[in-house]
Amino acid sequence: MRLLHLGDLELTLPLAVAAGGWLLAARAWRAAGAWALLYAGAMALVGGSKVAYLGWGTDIGALDFKAFSGHAAGVTAVYPVLGYLLCRPIGRAWGLGAAGGGLALGLVLAVALVGQGEHAVAEAATGWLLGAGASLGTLYQLESRGVAPGPASPACAVALFLVAALLMQSAHVGYWMIRLALALSGNARPFSWDTC
């Protein structure tokens, strides 16, 4: 299902970098700092939960929860912020509406992940909540300071997106998560997502 690719880290991470560049170019320092901390924190929780499961098989059996959904978290974090930044110059209502659309897109993706058997309900829902926390925290900073994105911001965002996307082509994040899980746990093989 092509919709699921909207949450691939190879896309959402460069988009997150682009959003950060946009905020910096707009001199929205607090919002840029909030975005960096909240997005990085959400992704660290996603990655940490995946490493814990791969290395030690940690899970909550009653909920069929192995790890936070990175796809749901990524979409729900990134797309509301980008929607806001793109539409806020038209007007506040447009910016907030676009942010709401990004949250709705994240919800649709979370439901699709469950429907496709990619994640359990608890994994998709908690991933969505992590992403929503990151995006809403950033939007709060923007709205409380009354910051509107400047005209130079889109060019900066596009340049950073292209650089980050190029770098992500050779990142192999899944491979490195498995290597980290095995190094930390001392196990010869990772736990499989199909076993529990």
Return the residue matching tokens 């700092």: 33
CB 81 within 8 A of CB 51: no
Q: What pLDDT sits at residue 151?
A: 62
Q: Which residues make Cβ contacts (< 8 Å) with residue 23, sequence separation at least 6?
A: 31, 32, 35, 85, 142, 149, 153
| pLDDT at 193 (0 to 100) | 63
Ranges of each domain in the chain: 2-185
Nearest CA to 113 among 67, 166, 148? Answer: 67
For 119-144, write each residue's pLDDT tens digit: 999 999 999 999 999 999 999 999 98
Contacts of 116 (CB under 8 A, 6+ apart): 1, 4
Q: What tokens were used for 137?
A: 């925290």
| Burial of 118: CB neighbours in 10 Å, binned 0-12, 13-18, 19+ | middle
At residue 196, the pLDDT reads 32
Read off the pLDDT of residues 94-128 as tens digits, 9 standing for 90 and up. 999 999 999 999 999 999 999 999 999 999 999 99
pLDDT at 58: 87
Residues of the chain with pLDDT under 50: 195-196
User: How far is the C-alpha of 141 from the C-alpha of 57, rounded, in Å?
Assistant: 38
